[in-house]
A = this chain, B = another copy of it.
Amino acid sequence: MSRKIAGPEIERLVQLLSRLPGLGPRSARKAVLSLLKRRNDLLLPLSDALQQAVEKISECPVCGNLDTVAPCSICADPRRDQSLIVVVEEVGDLWALERASIVSARYHVLGGHLSPLDGIGPEQLNVASLLTRAQSPEVKEILLALNATVEGQSTAHYISDQLATIDVTVSRLAQGVPIGGELDYLDDGTLAAAFKARRKL
């Protein structure tokens, strides 16, 4: 690309948008065009919403969720089951569980998974604060809802070791055939897990 398109402001917008997941340089250009074409119903509101996000949204000091209030609206909700803490890797996982309305409990966002090669040890994750929360008398169960990946599962092992001395039940999500899943398309690991955890009808 020998010549720059338009001014540096547009270039910069394209460059920043192309750093979002799911957008490459080509789709970022399309997005910028669409923003500039729909100034009033898209560009202005988005600019405003980002400004609001910058000013208002922060990490919940208790659970690591993102919200405009601290503690977050989930932590502050007295109707939620106070005896269960659902541990997730990322806020996106929390959102997925909330969207599915599966459980009305509180969460704890680790902020990732252990990855020694990338220099991510327990100190880089919100592990210490989880151990403190687990000691609170109302907490009876810690559900480790981590990804069923190697990293997620080794993080789960580490945390369950740390929780061993604390008087709480530690649980994890069931593993097996996903709903709608066809055996022919499942990997060996899932099939093995589903077999090992088979249940009487």
Residues of B contacting A101 in the complex (Cβ-Cβ under 8 angstroms):
2-3
A9 x B43 contact (CB < 8 A): no
A43 x B50 contact (CB < 8 A): yes
B49 x A16 contact (CB < 8 A): yes
Question: What 1/0 mask marks residues of chain A from 40 to 67 whose CB sits below 8 Å from any chain B CB?
Answer: 0011111101111110110000000111
Q: How many residues of A contact B (CB 8 A)?
A: 55
Residues of B contacting A44 in the complex (Cβ-Cβ under 8 angstroms):
54
Q: How far is the CB of A26 from chain B (nearest CB, A)?
A: 9
Judged by a CB distance under 8 angstroms, whether A12 is at the interface is yes
A27 x B22 contact (CB < 8 A): yes
Residues of B contacting A73 in the complex (Cβ-Cβ under 8 angstroms):
6-7
A53 x B36 contact (CB < 8 A): yes
A30 x B92 contact (CB < 8 A): yes
Closest chain B residue to A69 by CB distance? B7
B21 x A22 contact (CB < 8 A): no
Judged by a CB distance under 8 angstroms, whether A99 is at the interface is yes
Q: Which interface residue of A35, A56, A68, A101 has the most chain B CB atoms within 10 A?
A: A35
Since A21-B31, A23-B23 are in contact, a sample of 18 more A-B pairs with Cβ atoms closer than 8 Å, ordered by chain A residue number, is A5-B99, A6-B67, A6-B72, A9-B49, A9-B56, A12-B45, A13-B46, A13-B49, A16-B45, A16-B46, A19-B42, A20-B31, A33-B90, A33-B91, A36-B91, A39-B54, A47-B50, A50-B50
